[in-house]
């Protein structure tokens, strides 16, 4: 092995004329051994970095969510319902599914029964007079499933809210926050989320659902609507 017997270095500048000699009996590795050591350390570090990078990449890939495109949602609908739809109905359905796709995949979207009531109201009015009741229901099923939601839940929640609203008055609608009950709890949850304590996105279907509640309760006066909106949407 090659050895270094002494190493000279300058003493700090306040002692410019002095030089120190440090003797050493420590040996340094030969060039080949040093190369092997450096190579080993280098490979080990690269391996660590590669391992960490791989884990980070895998973690990022596993937590990322790929949202479907509008085209994919429309294709899912066409795959689910393969029969031809008369143009007068099909054009509107295709427009609705595009709009609802954009609503569904907003960051702030969260399903709620008032939204469901609004969509069911729009759909039933749109498809009123469709040649076949069976096909009308099949189209509804295919439409909601294309958006990766549950068509039965839409129908059940819409019916639940309609039955509740028929038993209400203008004053009981406005005072829902002070009352107990399943639908009252739903409305309170919406009010909390709209007030900034969760995800909430106001949409045309939500608005239609809210108006439908007022209509069924015979409480369509503008003042009642304003009070209900304040209770639901004010922080």
pLDDT tens digits, 184-208? 999 999 998 888 766 888 899 999 9
Q: What is the pTM (predicted TM-score) of this model? A: 0.71
Burial class of residue 39, CB neighbours in 10 A (0-12, 13-18, 19+): exposed
Q: Which of 20-29, 88-97, 155-164 has the lowest mean pLDDT?
A: 20-29
Looking at the structure, do residues 128 and 153 belong to the same domain, yes or no? Answer: yes
Tell me the C-alpha distance between 220 and 234, whole Å. 20
Q: How many helices (H) and strands (E) does the chain have?
A: 10, 2
Lowest mean pLDDT among 150-154, 192-196, 207-211: 192-196
215 and 124 in a common domain:
yes
Range of the domain at 100: 70-233
pLDDT tens for residues 20-70? 333 333 343 444 444 343 444 344 444 434 444 444 444 433 345 789 999
Selection from 6-15, 41-50, 75-84 with the highest mean pLDDT? 75-84
Report if residue 77 sits inside a domain. Answer: yes
How many other C-beta atoms are found inside a 10 Å radius of the C-beta of residue 190? 22
């Amino acid at each position: 092995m090659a050895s270094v017997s002494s190493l000279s270095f300058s003493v700090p500048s306040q002692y410019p004329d002095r030089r120190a000699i440090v003797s050493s009996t420590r040996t340094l590795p030969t060039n080949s051994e040093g190369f092997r050591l450096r190579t080993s350390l280098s490979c080990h570090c690269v391996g660590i970095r590669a391992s960490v990078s791989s884990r980070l990449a895998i973690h990022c890939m596993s937590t990322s969510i790929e949202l479907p495109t509008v085209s994919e949602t429309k294709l899912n609908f066409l795959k689910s319902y393969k029969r031809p739809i008369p143009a007068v109905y099909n054009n509107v359905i295709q427009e609705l599914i595009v709009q609802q796709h954009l609503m569904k995949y907003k960051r702030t979207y969260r399903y709620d029964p008032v939204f469901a009531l609004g969509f069911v109201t729009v759909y039933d009015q749109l498809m009123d007079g469709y040649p076949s009741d069976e096909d009308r229901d099949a189209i509804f099923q295919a439409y909601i499933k294309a958006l990766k939601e549950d068509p039965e839940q839409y129908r059940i929640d819409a019916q639940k809210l309609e039955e509740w609203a028929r038993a209400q008055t203008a004053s009981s609608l406005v005072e829902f926050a002070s009352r107990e009950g399943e639908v009252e709890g739903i409305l309170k949850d919406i009010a909390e989320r709209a007030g900034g304590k969760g995800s909430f996105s106001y949409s045309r279907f939500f608005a239609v659902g809210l108006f439908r509640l007022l209509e069924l309760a015979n409480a369509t006066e503008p003042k009642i609507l304003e009070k209900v909106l304040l209770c639901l949407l004010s922080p």
